[in-house]
Amino acid sequence: MMVPLLSIASLLIFLCLFSLAPVHEALRQGDQLRSLIKWQSLSKKTFFAGPEFAGNGLPAKIFIGRHEGKMEADRIEKLPGQPVGVDFDQYSGYVTVDPKAGRELFYYFVESAHDRDKKPLILWLNGGPGCSSLGFGAMEELGPFRVGSDGKTLFINYYSWNKVANVLFLESPAGVGFSYSNKSSDYDENGDRRTADDSYIFLINWLERFPHYKNVELFIAGESYAGHYVPQLAYTIMQNNKISNRTNIKLRGIAVGNPYVYEDIGDKAEIDFLWGHSMISDETYTKILTNCNFSNPNQSTECTDAIDSASSETGDIDDYNIYAPICPTDFQLNLDTTMDGLGGDFDPCTDNYVSSYLNNPAVQKALHAKAGKWSGCRYCSRFFMKNYTVQKLNPVRMAKPVARGDVDSVVPITNTKNFIKMLKLPILKPWRAWYLNKEVGGYVVQYEGLTFVTVRGAGHEVPSYQPKRALEMISSFLLGKLPPSLEAK
């Protein structure tokens, strides 16, 4: 029996940009979240488009299209620059979620090379909000390929999650990546509610296109702002599964990594993290503690000055992995570019390679994508709401862990730990190290209704920085186990 777990990752505030603000495009997923956090800290707006997310979890309209022959039409023969010896099937294309508006969501699907019929299905959702699961999730994190420094060739990711599951990447909401709508106002009206509804409609249509996956166990996973997307979609599925004439989706579990929680916890947690890692001075830290009230939308001049000092003191680093190298600002993509000397296996310029690759017309044709500019992140919405979806998932026996990279300063580990402390949950299995190849891979503690797992040395995008440890973690999750102890290995 799978260990019942519960993620706290859904207890977030939906940050937003007003419709009057320009559509934000970002090359990096981290830049998107950082811009939202900065916008929120400057505005401290609390406008609500409606009540909390949950409602009855039922989309107003359910569209199911005709899918005969579309699965085979979506099959990818070969991606440009693909290495030889690929032994798994790939598919990509569009699924209509609203024919009247012409709203189409783009997906990329990779089957497992071995025993695909015996392995579960993972739906992966990136955060942002509004960042591409194809560009980040598939091409930089857990997909079967990584993009070479020439921006034209692919190489094998030996720690791809399709070793243990069939993996479906969804670009959502409309306007993200290759997903689009013929109704331009849809982009301004995107929000958590519509994202959940459209993702659900996408999923039931995708299962009509790939009917042999209807009886396969589904796990929904994601990171960062997917702390909204994942539990909200899970709740929507659960509610619709109660209706007799609708497709019963075999939802087995959810997992979210590095979620952004409440702003007042998040701001204080980031400062604590920076000070604890000797990145800001004791004097600045003391000034912040003395002058800042993070639950107050109106901060004093003394507080903002101290925050500015902290920002200056940290210097030019990658906030999403404080120990990772950064891509040179004068980086120019060319055939001679290499990242030798920057250190480690992580390439900080990967975003550039992926953008070049996915904007290649030959690649877009091979992916069956609509020709045009692809951007890593694009989001603009007036709608946000407080989200307490996790309480509605609490009684359900479903696997729901939260995973954490431990060197992310924007969504720091202190954020999640402080939030867990607020929940006052009893501990079922105490904090311990987990191991991979006789080395500490991270730490794990199981609470009543929640399992918290850290991945040592990982930043915001855990599979990018620590792909081998991330694969071990998700493998344990799919088997209903905690990551292994030293004795188990």
- Residues assigned a catalytic role: 224, 408, 460
Query: CA dist 145 to 110, 132, 314, 488, Å?
Result: 11, 16, 34, 31
